[in-house]
């Protein structure tokens, strides 16, 4: 029995290529064929991503403040702090889903009342593969990242896409 290192199919002993996926089974170093990108994704941590492309506001800031920051910085998510603690995030999705600008005064509406409280977070030493999986399962487009020095960064689905698109080009 020969297990294909790429797709885990059982092959007949002596097979030169995997009957399922065509992976070369003949060489002494059979993993090398699928090593590059796969291995990179498993080895790289969030530290290789630009974690500092973010905006932070206090819980008392208004939705109008948040919209201005999003527009000026070209980002889709605001980290919301209560004194020095991360209390929530406020995203484009929250904006479109929860806010009716035709009915509400965005200058008066506070982030405290419309943010997504206690968001899922990642750690800067988590792998990109793990982050990818969390974003997929949780349906998250942005996830705050706790760093070793206790500051908070942010990754977006776009950062992950950019990382992978760069790896395969």
Which stretches of the chain bind another protein, using CB under 8 A? 6-8, 21-23, 33-34, 36-38, 41-43, 45, 67-68, 70-71, 76, 92-93, 95-97, 99, 101-102, 106, 122-123, 125-127, 129-130, 132-133, 135-137, 139, 141, 157-158, 160-162, 164-169
The distance of closest approach from Cβ of residue 51 to another protein in the complex, given in angstroms and rounded to an integer, is 16
- Write out the two tokens for 82: 């209560």
Looking at the Cβ atoms of 33 and 82, the one nearer to another protein is 33
The distance of closest approach from Cβ of residue 59 to another protein in the complex, given in angstroms and rounded to an integer, is 19
The distance of closest approach from Cβ of residue 50 to another protein in the complex, given in angstroms and rounded to an integer, is 14
Looking at the Cβ atoms of 74 and 83, the one nearer to another protein is 74
Look at residues 53, 69, 55, 75 and name the one whose alpha carbon lies nearest to residue 106: 69
Question: Which long-range contacts link 75-83 to residues 24+ away (Cβ below 8 Å)?
Answer: 75/156, 76/141, 76/142, 76/156, 77/141, 77/142, 77/154, 77/156, 78/111, 79/54, 79/55, 79/144, 79/152, 79/154, 80/56, 80/111, 80/112, 80/115, 81/56, 81/57, 82/58, 82/112
Looking at the Cβ atoms of 12 and 96, the one nearer to another protein is 96
The distance of closest approach from Cβ of residue 118 to another protein in the complex, given in angstroms and rounded to an integer, is 19
Looking at the Cβ atoms of 83 and 96, the one nearer to another protein is 96
The distance of closest approach from Cβ of residue 88 to another protein in the complex, given in angstroms and rounded to an integer, is 18
DSSP string, 18-69: -TTT--B--SS-GGGGGTHHHHHHHH-BGGGS-TT--EEEETTSBHHHHHHH
Looking at the Cβ atoms of 2 and 82, the one nearer to another protein is 2
């Amino acid at each position: 029995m020969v297990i294909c290192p790429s797709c885990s199919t059982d092959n007949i002993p002596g097979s030169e290529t995997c009957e399922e996926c065509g992976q070369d089974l003949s060489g002494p170093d059979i993993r090398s064929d699928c090593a590059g990108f796969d291995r990179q994704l498993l080895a790289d941590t969030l530290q290789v991503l630009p974690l500092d492309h973010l905006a932070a506001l206090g819980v008392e800031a208004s939705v109008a403040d948040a919209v201005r920051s999003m527009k000026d910085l070209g980002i889709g998510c605001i980290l919301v702090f209560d004194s020095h603690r991360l209390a929530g995030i406020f995203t484009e999705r929250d904006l479109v889903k929860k806010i009716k600008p035709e009915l509400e005064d965005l200058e008066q509406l506070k982030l405290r009342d419309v943010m997504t409280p206690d968001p899922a977070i990642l750690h800067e030493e988590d792998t990109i593969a793990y982050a990818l999986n969390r974003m997929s399962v949780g349906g998250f487009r942005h996830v705050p990242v706790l760093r070793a020095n206790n500051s908070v960064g942010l990754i977006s689905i776009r950062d992950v896409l950019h990382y992978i698109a760069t790896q395969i080009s």
